[in-house]
Amino acid sequence: MALTFSQRLMIGLHLIAGTCISYATASPANYPTLATRQTTAGYWKPSAGTTWQIQLNSALTSTSTNVQVYDIDMQENTAAIIQTLHNLGRKVICYFSAGSYESVRPDASQFLAGDKGKKMDGWPEYWIDTRSSNVRKIMIARIDAAKAKGCDGIDPDNVDGYQNDSGFPLTMATAIDYMKFLADAAHNRGMSIGLKNSHDIVNQTLAYMDWQVNEECEQYFIEESETQTECVKLKPYLAANKPVFHIEYPDGAPGNVDPAVKKAICENPDVKGFSTLLKDMDLTAWVDAY
């Protein structure tokens, strides 16, 4: 069941200390120190509470947001941009779609007709068959490109085709297998990886996922409860000291978000400990402070 932000305000959530990230521009000397889990593995593992920014609508337009991690489009951004962020002490997560076909991507011609399924609702993309050996070969090439550019981790999107009318017989089991495939590829190349949305396979994939990227979990109640949102299903990440990089898209974004709406989002107890951002749907450089 989805609620509007106005409806959520009306039900009187019990509010606790704010959990949205506070943003400011800062000089390099004042950038926050990276929090990292102790590990013997040869790749970066962020800790719960790591601060972040995400911009996917274009190549990065600003490096001034004072956070520890930037999530940016892998194909839109150059190695030089990633190096600039590294020089500022930031880690870089590189985004690409691992579950959809986009005609504008430089490797679009490599997808076979049988790899492409039904059109995604609301987006100029098509679901792909994540079981396909050809699809997996394309994804390995994308992960190799992320490594070559210097990315510290990857953010593979649209891995929840099993929850949608994709045109393929995708299931939770095929999604778990695909995430293990992507995780092995990333880790073997010295990069970390996160699970995007897909809250119902959190427990089955937690051991090899290094963080969660979630969109709008505050908008949906879990079936077993009329008061708890789907955000609570992501809590195993916090228990494992892994961050939940959380995004909400409030009415009025960018630039005109009602303070009461912002307060309700950021002080929802279901997202306590999350790294929460308020963003516009286009995922521009705009981000709201709390």
In a domain, 202, yes or no: yes
Closest CA to 129 of 140, 118, 121: 118
In a domain, 17, yes or no: no
Distance CA 52, CA 62 (A): 13
| pLDDT score for 147 | 98
Grade residue 36 by pLDDT with cuts at 50, 70 and 90: low
Closest CA to 215 of 254, 237, 247: 247
In a domain, 16, yes or no: no
In a domain, 30, yes or no: no
Distance CA 171, CA 161 (A): 8
In a domain, 144, yes or no: yes
The domain in which residue 260 lies consists of 5-10+41-278
Cβ neighbors of 13 (< 8 A, separation 6 or more) are 264, 267, 268, 269
**For a pLDDT cut of 70, what percent of the chain falls above it?**
85
| Dihedral (CA of 264, 265, 270, 276) sign | negative
Mean pLDDT confidence for 191-198: 98
Mean pLDDT confidence for 11-17: 32
In a domain, 29, yes or no: no
In a domain, 25, yes or no: no
Where residue 170 sits, what CATH number does that domain have? 3.20.20.70
| Dihedral (CA of 2, 8, 11, 16) sign | positive
- Least confident residue range of 7-11, 95-99, 128-132: 7-11
Distance CA 75, CA 118 (A): 24
Distance CA 54, CA 92 (A): 10
Residue 34 carries which DSSP code? P
Q: Which tens digit of pLDDT belongs to each residue from 237-250? A: 999 999 999 999 99
Tally of structural domains, the chain = 1
Give me the amino acid identity at 143.
I
Q: Which tens digit of pLDDT belongs to each residue from 101-136? A: 999 999 999 999 999 999 999 999 999 999 999 999
Q: Which tens digit of pLDDT belongs to each residue from 263-287? A: 999 999 999 999 999 999 999 999 9
In a domain, 262, yes or no: yes
Which bin fits 229, alpha (ψ -120 to 50), beta or left (φ > 0)?
beta
Helices 133-149, 172-188: crossing angle, 10 deg rounding: 30
- Least confident residue range of 11-15, 97-101, 242-246: 11-15
Query: With contact defined as beta carbons under 8 Å apart, do 167 and 136 qualify?
Result: no
Grade residue 9 by pLDDT with cuts at 50, 70 and 90: very low
Grade residue 20 by pLDDT with cuts at 50, 70 and 90: confident
Tokens representing 135 are 């699809």
